[in-house]
Amino acid sequence: MKELTWSDVFEIVFAMVLFQKKNELTVANCVWLVDGWNRTILDELEMHDEAWPFLLPVNTKQFPTYKKIIRSPMDLGTIRKRLDDQLYKTRDDFCADLHLMFNNCVTFNEDESPVGKAGFSLKTYFDARWAELIAY
């Protein structure tokens, strides 16, 4: 897993300074910088050992009650598609979909079930990693 290094932070700050000097510090350029952070953390989440239940949408044929209980499904594959389609305008939008996925997991699964445990583990990892990334 790639961790954000001081070199990465320097590149982001340097890019922002260059954009500012050229009077090009636009929303689109800020989105581009945020997108890099989002991609980093999404790559890490997808590679995490406990990501297996979240890589694709829940199979509603296998779990027919899911749609009745969960009104807004979310998974890492959908988040990846939204990121690729540039639908996240802020890091908070991106973070909100991840929290939706984790909240759905808590709502639908027992805490001690394999999926419940995987969700807790993945959320713990995400929260710690996100705190590191936004601290810079």
Task: Kindly provide the residue ranges of all beta strands, DSSP E only, lying in the chain, ordered along the sequence.
Answer: none
Is 87's pLDDT higher than 80?
Answer: yes
Confidence of residue 52 (pLDDT cuts 50, 70, 90): very high
Confidence of residue 1 (pLDDT cuts 50, 70, 90): very low
* Whole-number pLDDT of residue 55: 98
Closest CA relative to residue 76, chosen from 1, 126, 135: 126
Three-class SS state of 120? helix
Q: Which domains does the chain have, with CATH numbers?
A: 6-134 (1.20.920.10)
pTM: 0.75
Confidence of residue 92 (pLDDT cuts 50, 70, 90): confident
* Whole-number pLDDT of residue 117: 97
Is 125's pLDDT higher than 50?
Answer: yes
Compute how many other C-beta atoms are within 10 angstroms of the C-beta atom of residue 85: 8
Confidence of residue 83 (pLDDT cuts 50, 70, 90): very high
Closest CA relative to residue 43, chosen from 85, 84, 73: 84
